[in-house]
Structure 1
Amino acid sequence: MTKSEKTKEFIIAKAAPLFNKKGYAGTSMSDIMKATGLAKGGLYGNFESKDEIAALAFEYSYNQLKDDIGQKIRAKKTGVDKLLVILQYYKNYTVSPTVDGGCPLLNTAVDADDAYPFLKKKARQALQEMIGSLQHILKMGIQEGAFRSDLNVKKEAELIFAQIEGGIMMAKVLDDVTVLNRLLENLKNRMETEYMNNAE
């Protein structure tokens, strides 16, 4: 890795938690200068704009989350166990998040909305990837014979993801992690009663 690449990586690593906690508008170039100890010229010598830093900062935070949960999912062999480990992963997430500032996908999606199309595009790609992974795990459960063959994987993947992200949002707003944990427990119960092949 060249010195320039190392500097870029350093800037992104320092900027990522700022954007994830304070949002795009709330994060200034001065904040990034302070966090990195670099002068403005040091930032603009490596990046064209704040937009470029923000986009790469989101990717950095999202990849941190993805790598962390991905490791735990890959350690499990069956579709059932993979889904259970996802639900376990998000337990107490608002009080002990993997990424400083909480879920980067949720934060960026809310922050970007219609104001920052370049960030919304990044969040959309991440969302589609997450739902795609859930669909893959549900299909695996069906192929293994654990889940019902008539399970609507698209609908269920969307429901799981919406409940997790909605639970994170509610728990953060209410300062009450038990809201999130109850929703995760509901999803686990749904899996045990609605998904399993022996469900009546």
Structure 2
Amino acid sequence: MSKGDLTRQRIIEEAAPIFNQRGFAGCSMQDVLDATGLEKGGVYRHFASKEELAAEAFQYAWTRVSKARREGQDAIPGAVDKLKYSVRRFAETPGVFPGGCPLMNTAIDADDGNPVLRDLVCAAMKSWKARLASIVADGIANGEIREDVEPRRIANSMIAMLEGALMISRLEGNRTAIEDARKTLELTLNKIAVVAS
């Protein structure tokens, strides 16, 4: 990696937590300059605009968070156990970035005002849903999950419950909602499993 590439990566890494905590509108380029110790020209040499930097910062943050949440999942045998593991990892893995989940934060921040960030969040969400739905579909194909289960519905429900519970837990300053979501999802996943006769 060249010196310029290293500098660019450092800017992204140092800007990502700021954008995640303050949002696009709440993060000024001066905040980025203060965090990196660079002059304005040093940042704009690598990024044409604040929006480009915010987009790169989101992609970096989401890649780190999703990797942390998936770590070890591939080694888990069985679709239902893989899904339960995903729920546990979400509930138990400490936040990688200050300010909470970059997917939820950026989705709320970009909902009405930033089509570039909104498109990136939509792509990240689509990928997460597809990954979960694929596990469900594999479980159906392998006879582990009931045939009447709709993979999309399970994926949407898991994500909605986990992200919503994370928001409530952050607002209330405790882990009650995230633990309730974990237990409820584990019960749901038990119900979709094919019972051995």
Q: Which amino acid aligns with 1:58?
A: F
Which residue of structure 2 lines up, in the alignment, with residue 36 of structure 1? Answer: 36
2:69/2:90 contact within 8 Å kept: no
| Distance in 2 separating the partners of 1:100 and 1:63 | 15
When normalised by structure 2's length, the TM-score is 0.95
* Secondary structure class of the residue paired with 1:198: coil
Aligned pairs for 1:43-54 within 5 A: 43-54=43-54
Match of 1:137 among 121, 135, 138: 135
Which residue of structure 2 lines up, in the alignment, with residue 77 of structure 1? Answer: 77
* Secondary structure class of the residue paired with 1:91: helix
Moved more, 50-59 or 96-105: 96-105
Q: Does 1:166 align with 2:146?
A: no
| Distance in 2 separating the partners of 1:150 and 1:22 | 43
| Distance in 2 separating the partners of 1:35 and 1:150 | 52
* Secondary structure class of the residue paired with 1:90: helix
Which residue of structure 2 lines up, in the alignment, with residue 182 of structure 1? Answer: 180
Which residue of structure 2 lines up, in the alignment, with residue 198 of structure 1? Answer: 195
Which residue of structure 1 lines up, in the alignment, with residue 5 of structure 2? Answer: 5
Q: Which runs of 5+ in 1 are unaligned?
A: none
1:92/1:177 contact within 8 Å kept: no
> For each residue in 1:129-174, what CA deviation from the matched residue of structure 2 results, as whole angstroms up to 9, or x when unmatched?
1110110111122122221011111111111111111111111122
Which residue of structure 2 lines up, in the alignment, with residue 64 of structure 1? Answer: 64
Q: Which runs of 5+ in 2 are unaligned?
A: none
Q: Which amino acid aligns with 1:139?
A: A
> For each residue in 1:156-198, what CA deviation from the matched residue of structure 2 results, as whole angstroms up to 9, or x when unmatched?
1111111111111111122221111101110101111x20112
Which residue of structure 1 lines up, in the alignment, with residue 27 of structure 2? Answer: 27
Q: CA deviation at 1:43?
A: 0.6
Q: Which amino acid aligns with 2:69?
A: I
**RMSD of Structure 2 on Structure 1 (CA):** 1.6
Q: CA deviation at 1:92?
A: 4.6
* Secondary structure class of the residue paired with 1:170: helix
| Distance in 1 separating the partners of 2:78 and 2:193 | 13
* Secondary structure class of the residue paired with 1:141: helix
Q: Which amino acid aligns with 2:171?
A: V
Give the share of equivalent positions with the same residue, in percent: 35
1:146/1:196 contact within 8 Å kept: yes
Q: CA deviation at 1:72?
A: 2.2
Which residue of structure 2 lines up, in the alignment, with residue 97 of structure 1? Answer: 95
Moved more, 17-26 or 173-182: 173-182
| Distance in 2 separating the partners of 1:98 and 1:73 | 18
Q: Which amino acid aligns with 1:50?
A: K
Q: CA deviation at 1:69?
A: 2.1
Aligned length: 197
| Distance in 2 separating the partners of 1:98 and 1:149 | 36
